[in-house]
Amino acid sequence: MIKKEAAHIRKQFKMDHDQLHLFDILNVYIMKETNEIYHCERQPFAMLDREKQELYMANFRKLLTGELDHKLFELKFLEEAEEPSQVMLHQGLVTGDPEEWQDLMLMLVDKMLVDVKYEKDAVITFVRGQYFRPTKARNDEAEETGKDEMFSHPFILCSVNSTEQQRKTLLFDYVEREFKYNVMVDPIIKLSTPEQGFFYPSVTDNYSDINRILYCTGSSNNPNPHFIEQVLNAERSVTAMEERSIFEDIVKEITGEQLDVATIAQVYESVHQVIEDHEDEEEPPKLDYRDVERVLKASGVEEVTMEKVERAFETIVDNKNYEMKASSVIPKFTSKSIKIDTKVASITVSPQDLKYVRQVNYQGKRCILIEIDEDAVIEGFTLMSENLS
């Protein structure tokens, strides 16, 4: 799956979309005290009140919102799993019997309750449906008015949401003209903040891939290992944050712990150039030990050899052929994604502007020097420039 495919799936989940059909929705309420199913309810999605449909649509879009390897992870199923979830999901995907689909989803819920203690009551929502996608890009200049040939993508989506108790409030009754204490005991289902879930099957080159699943987490770079391995029976994926840490450790192994800002900035620019050079390709570019050698040499790092980089890969990841996604190993290039923390102040800059930052020694003290092309303004006051000798 690539970024465009994930975005396309997310865009389908809106009201009255003619290329999205939702068949059934199943809600399962889990009590935290007993860790058991308290209630479950299945009905055709079309039978829900429109207001409820809008709430669920917003929930599904929120679940599918995020960047790949940050909040969305395409996972491969484990082949050696007992009672594999892939089999249950595939059966649920192809069955035309709503009762059988419900039974299969409840089997998945049972797996979610093993060795897990929910801190709050939870609601697990399943929906099954299909969306359509043209087999080719529409030609707006074509004289044909008919619809393009479409691919059909059946799917199952799952969202796990926690609940919270309503706050005690004071109300004013206009009719009785009195203040009333309002106590609501019904919990609120936090549909606006799904904690995790999945979309099955994943999509590759516009085709459904039944051997992969898209896992979604509400917390960036924080996938749930138990849910991935024990519930979905899938291989855990490396997060973007973990991959960046691997890249940094490999570079430190080669260059040492300290690098000047100019070199770091050049490393980021070199990696960003790799990303730009491959932006039209379907698969995101990856960096192996040969690419890292080229990046470091282009960034002015001295005494870099192929053998040195290979040893660094073997030391850090125990695999000289390991490949990292280029987009994961650097901060977002055009946003202020780098934070420089000091005792006096915190400064945020973008990787493309890091070249204007220096750490210098002035009168025996370490200072941060930032090159600017306009006057600095503090609380409405324009600062005077000082000449330092």
- Domain assignment of residue 124, yes or no: yes
The continuous run of DSSP H or E covering 76 comes out as strand 72-76
List, in sequence order, the alpha helices (H) in 80-199. 85-94, 98-112
- Return the sign of the alpha-carbon dihedral for residues 115, 118, 122, 125: negative
Condensed to tens digits (0 to 9), the pLDDT of residues 350-376 reads 999 999 999 899 888 888 999 988 888
Report how many helices (DSSP H) and strands (DSSP E) the chain contains, helices first: 9, 20
**b/e string for 128-158 if b means 16 or more Cβ within 10 A?**
bbbbbbeeeeeeeeeeeeeeeeeeebbbbbb
Decide if pLDDT at 132 tops 90.
no
Return the closest-CA partner of residue 301 out of 343, 258, 333.
258
Tell me: do 199 and 286 sit in the same domain. Answer: no
Evaluate whether 327 touches 286 at the Cβ level (below 8 Å). Answer: no
Reported as a pLDDT band with limits 50, 70 and 90, residue 21 is very high
| Distance (Å, whole) CA 329 – CA 325 | 7
Tell me: do 68 and 208 sit in the same domain. Answer: yes
pTM of the predicted model as reported, rounded to 2 decimal places: 0.86
- Domain assignment of residue 320, yes or no: yes
- Domain assignment of residue 211, yes or no: yes
Tell me: do 105 and 150 sit in the same domain. Answer: yes
- CB contact set of 156 (below 8 Å; sequence gap of 6+): 89, 92, 93, 105, 126, 127, 128, 199, 200
Tell me: do 36 and 135 sit in the same domain. Answer: yes
Tell me: do 25 and 88 sit in the same domain. Answer: yes
Both tokens of 288, joined, read 């192996």
pLDDT of 145 reads: 43
Tell me: do 79 and 223 sit in the same domain. Answer: yes
Domain residue limits at 108:
3-162+189-237
Q: Read out DSSP for 367-382?
A: EEEE--SS--EETTEE
Evaluate whether 159 touches 60 at the Cβ level (below 8 Å). Answer: yes
Condensed to tens digits (0 to 9), the pLDDT of residues 194-229 reads 999 999 999 887 788 999 999 999 999 999 999 999
Both tokens of 342, joined, read 């000091």
Q: Using the 3D structure, point to which of 328, 349, 368 is the last residue of a domain.
A: 328
Evaluate whether 302 touches 293 at the Cβ level (below 8 Å). Answer: no
- Domain assignment of residue 171, yes or no: no
Question: Of residues 100 and 386, which shows the higher confidence score?
Answer: 100
Condensed to tens digits (0 to 9), the pLDDT of residues 258-297 reads 888 889 999 999 999 999 988 877 788 999 999 999 999 9
Share of the chain residues as helix, strand and coil, in percent rounded to the nearest 5: 30, 30, 40
Tell me: do 233 and 245 sit in the same domain. Answer: no
| Prior bond of 201 cis (ω within 30°) | yes
Tell me: do 355 and 221 sit in the same domain. Answer: no
Average pLDDT over residues 241-245: 94
Return the closest-CA partner of residue 154 out of 130, 137, 180.
130
Q: In this structure, which amino acid lies at residue 244?
A: R
Angle at 273 between CA 270 and CA 274, to 5 degrees: 95
- Domain assignment of residue 183, yes or no: no
